Chain A
Amino acid sequence: AQTVTQSQPEMSVQEAETVTLSCTYDTSESDYYLFWYKQPPSRQMILVIRQEAYKQQNATENRFSVNFQKAAKSFSLKISDSQLGDAAMYFCAYRSANNYTGANSKLTFGKGITLSVRP
């Protein structure tokens, strides 16, 4: 079974600064997807960024980028130019790509990290 670990329960960053959120995972599969989701106080789960394991290039979405280290099974999220609206819980998640029947299409989440942004 796959596991996702987010060992930092909380982090804080100064507005306009850069912060990196850590995530490690364990799997025996070679093909999979990794995600970062944001959960603000409204509870809505918002997809921030995703990475396909077969791609060596790190995904980037505006101020958000990842550092994907497949051999180390590490998937960290970097938020540049932090804004007050970035304050939320952030969850790292894993999904198998071996999905010919749909039975492996579920997401496995880490426990999350609470990010606060200081003005």
Chain B
Amino acid sequence: NAGVMQNPRHLVRRRGQEARLRCSPMKGHSHVYWYRQLPEEGLKFMVYLQKENIIDESGMPKERFSAEFPKEGPSILRIQQVVRGDSAAYFCASSRDYSSYGYTFGSGTRLTVV
């Protein structure tokens, strides 16, 4: 029973390029959360999605960031025109439903913008 799978584990992008981060939730989980961890900081909530729906995007920057969770396939966090300040670890977590308080986290994707 595979856990939450994130890929790639490491991603290097030049300033101005696009970054695509993927998250496959645990089997049976249809709720996905994305968090960002800046150096020496805790995780900050970005967005919460169910299949084909964005439930809460209150933590998403207004520009350049978007997320989707299609009916088929992984959830994608997309960052357009990356800047140095986007360098961070991005974590995905999944749960069975919104009432579950037992999230399962992936191992994260470390994005480095050069």
Contact = CB atoms under 8 A, between A and B. Distances in A.
Interface of A: 4, 6, 33, 35, 37, 42-47, 50, 91, 95, 97, 99, 101-103, 105-112
Bin chain B's interface residue count.
20 to 34
Given A45-B91, A50-B101, A102 B42 contact: no
A109 B43 CA distance: 6
19 contacts: A6-B42, A43-B108, A44-B107, A44-B108, A45-B105, A47-B102, A50-B101, A99-B98, A102-B31, A102-B56, A105-B95, A106-B33, A106-B56, A107-B33, A107-B103, A108-B45, A110-B42, A111-B40, A111-B42
Contacts of B59: 106
Contacts of B35: 107, 109
Nearest to A43: B108
A102 B101 contact: no
Across the A-B interface, the 10 shortest Cβ-Cβ residue pairs = A102-B98, A109-B42, A45-B105, A106-B45, A109-B43, A111-B42, A105-B98, A43-B108, A33-B101, A44-B107
A44 B45 contact: no
Given A33-B101, A102-B56, 8 more contacts: A42-B107, A44-B108, A95-B101, A102-B48, A105-B56, A106-B33, A109-B44, A111-B42
Interface in B83-114: 89, 91, 93, 95, 98-99, 101-103, 105, 107-108, 110
A109 B44 CA distance: 7
Contact of A44 (B44, B98, B105): B105
Interface in B11-44: 31, 33, 35, 40-44
B65 to A, nearest CB: 16
A118 B45 CA distance: 33
Given A108-B45, A109-B42, A112-B42, A102 B55 contact: yes
A115 B48 CA distance: 30
Contacts of B40: 111
Nearest to A112: B42
